[in-house]
Structure 1
C-alpha cells in the first residue's frame, strides 16, 4: 500500500512540476502537453493520400503533369476559406497526395481564411506545438503525420496561402537532401 501511495504522490508532484524526492531541489520543468488529436484535414475536399484519379474526379479541370517521380496537379480559379480566387496545387508521389496547397489567395482576406479554418479544424497550435519550419506570422495546426499551415501575404506579394503537408514526406526529403550533401563534402 505504501508503494502505491508513494507512486501516486510522485505522479501528483511530477504533474505539478515539483521534484518527487522531497528535497529542497528546484522545480523540475514539465514538458508541454501534446496537442489534442485532430481529425485529418482536407483542402477543398482533398486529403493527404488521395490518388490522381480522386483529384481528377473531384476537379475534372485539373491539369496534371509528371515531373521526375512526382505528379503536379493544378486547378486554377479555386478559392478557399473566404477567398474567391486562388490556385489549388497537389503534389502526388506513388499516386498519393503528399502536399495540397491553396495558393494565390486574396491576402486581405487572411483573417477570414483563418477564421474558417478554426471553425473547421479547431484551435490552431500554441507556441509549444508549432512546426519548426513555420514562420512567426503563420497559423498552424499539426497532427501525427501532417501539418496544416496558413501563411499571410509577405512584403513581396499580396497573396496568402494554405498548405497541407505530409510531415513524414518532408522529413524523408530533408534526410535525402542532407545525405546527398554529406556525400558531396
Structure 2
C-alpha cells in the first residue's frame, strides 16, 4: 500500500477522494484539510496527525491505535469499524465554532484518552470503550447505544442530556459529573448507585 504522503503529493486541501494510504509509526501529518473524503483500510497507528481538519469524512477500517491528534478537528465525520486502542482524542482542537457531531459505529476505543474532548451530540453505536479515560469529556446530548464502558474513568464529565440507555459496565458518581437530563436504563442505573454503596438485586 502507498504511503499517505505519497498520495497527497504535498497538497494541503483534499476534496471528495477515496484514500488508502498508511502513516508509519511517529510519522507526522500536519496542516491538511480533508473534505468529503473516505479513508479506508489504512494504518495510522502511533502516527501524529496535527492541525488537520476532517469535514464530512468517513474513516472505515482504519487503525488509529496510539495515534495523537493535536489541534485536529473532526467535523461531522463517520468512523466505522475503526481500531483506536489508546488513541489520544483528548488532544483534539476545541474551535470557537463547535464542529458538527461525529458518528462512531463498531469502533474499538479501549484505553483511549478522551479527557477534555468536546463530543457534544456525538453518536456511539456498538463501540467498546473499556478502560477509556473520560475525565472532563463533554458528551452533552450524546448517545451511547450498546457500548461497553467497563472500567471507564468518568469524572468531571458533562453528561447533560446524554443518553446511555443500552450501554453497560459503567460506574459514575452523579456528585462528580454534570448529569442533569441524563438518560439511563435499569442496568445502567446500577452504575449510578454503586458509588453510594447501594446494591440492587
TM-score by length of structure 2 reads 0.22
Larger fraction in strand:
1
Higher RCO (CA < 8 A, seq sep 6+)? 1
TM-score by length of structure 1 reads 0.24
